[in-house]
């Protein structure tokens, strides 16, 4: 028996499938593809799968992963993506399968590709919005409210802005790298909502997760 990790993309209409429903979709795909994986014991036995870093509803992703245990050590892992894709909806595509290298607890950050525009057409030209964003991110502190187990509390997001990379595009487009994982997880919408409030404009954000990293910026594998 060996620990196996599949990597998959989630896009299109499937980005609106919740994490719980994604779990169900994957369980059905595992069953239909007849993968010989470990099941839980007891009265209600089921295939045991885990996800390293659940994706927020409405986010697309290039780098999602799911773990399970293959019972047959001689299983051809290279054939698993094709077998699973035959049982998955179009918006979810497995592109790699390999033995797991890192523990999910090692994840420290995630990178997001974001396209931003006003909800009302023509309200703010892209160049103006871009200038306002850069000025906002240059502030010495970015205070907003974050929900915690003890309720809402003020938090300064500036120390959590690990990287900002503008991208040439016809819209306002950039990459943000933020803390992610079991210890600390900063949703990019926290920062984007704080920015929208600061300029008094409702914004639409198209968010795609493009990287998940462990300590030192190494790809999670």
CATH match for 106-217 among 1.10.3720.10, 3.10.520.10, 3.60.15.10, 3.30.70.3190: 3.30.70.3190
- CATH class entry, domain 2-100: alpha beta
106-217 matches 2-100 in CATH topology:
yes
- DSSP assignment, residue 54? P
Task: Please answer whether residues 100 and 5 qualify as being in contact, where contact means their C-beta atoms are separated by less than 8 angstroms.
Answer: yes
pTM over 0.75: yes
DSSP lists the bridge partners of residue 36 as none
The torsion angles phi and psi of 156, rounded to 5 degrees, stand at: -90, 115
SS3 of residue 77 by DSSP? helix
Give the residue extent of every domain in the chain: 2-100, 106-217
- DSSP assignment, residue 20? H
pLDDT in tens, the chain (221 residues): 899 999 999 999 999 999 999 999 999 999 999 998 888 877 777 788 999 999 999 999 999 999 999 998 888 999 999 999 999 999 999 999 999 999 999 999 999 999 999 988 777 899 999 999 999 999 999 999 887 777 888 999 999 999 999 998 888 999 999 999 988 999 999 999 999 999 999 999 999 999 999 999 999 99
The pLDDT score that the predictor gives to residue 97 is: 97
Can you tell me the distance from the alpha carbon of 135 to that of 117, in angstroms, rounded to the nearest whole number? 16
Residue 150 CA to its chain's centroid (Å): 25
Two tokens, residue 61: 């992703």
């Amino acid at each position: 028996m060996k620990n196996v990790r599949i990597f998959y993309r989630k896009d299109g209409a499937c980005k609106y499938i919740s994490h719980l429903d994604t779990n169900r979709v994957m369980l059905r795909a595992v069953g239909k593809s007849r993968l010989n994986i470990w099941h839980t014991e007891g009265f209600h036995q089921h295939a045991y799968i885990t996800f390293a870093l659940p994706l927020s509803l409405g986010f697309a992703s290039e780098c999602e992963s799911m773990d399970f245990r293959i019972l047959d050590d001689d299983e051809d892992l290279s054939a698993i993506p094709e077998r699973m894709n035959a049982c998955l909806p179009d918006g979810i595509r497995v592109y790699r399968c390999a033995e797991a290298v890192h523990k999910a607890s090692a994840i420290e950050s995630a990178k997001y590709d974001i396209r931003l525009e006003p909800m009302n057409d023509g309200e703010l030209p892209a160049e103006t919005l871009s200038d306002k964003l850069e000025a906002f991110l240059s502030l010495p502190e970015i205070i907003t409210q974050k929900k915690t187990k003890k309720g809402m509390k003020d938090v300064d997001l500036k120390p959590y802005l690990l990287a900002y990379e503008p991208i040439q595009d016809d819209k306002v487009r950039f990459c943000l790298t933020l803390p992610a994982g079991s210890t600390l997880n900063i949703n990019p919408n926290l920062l984007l909502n704080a920015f929208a409030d600061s300029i008094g404009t409702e914004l639409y954000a198209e968010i795609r997760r493009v990287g998940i990293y462990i300590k030192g910026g190494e790809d999670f594998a």
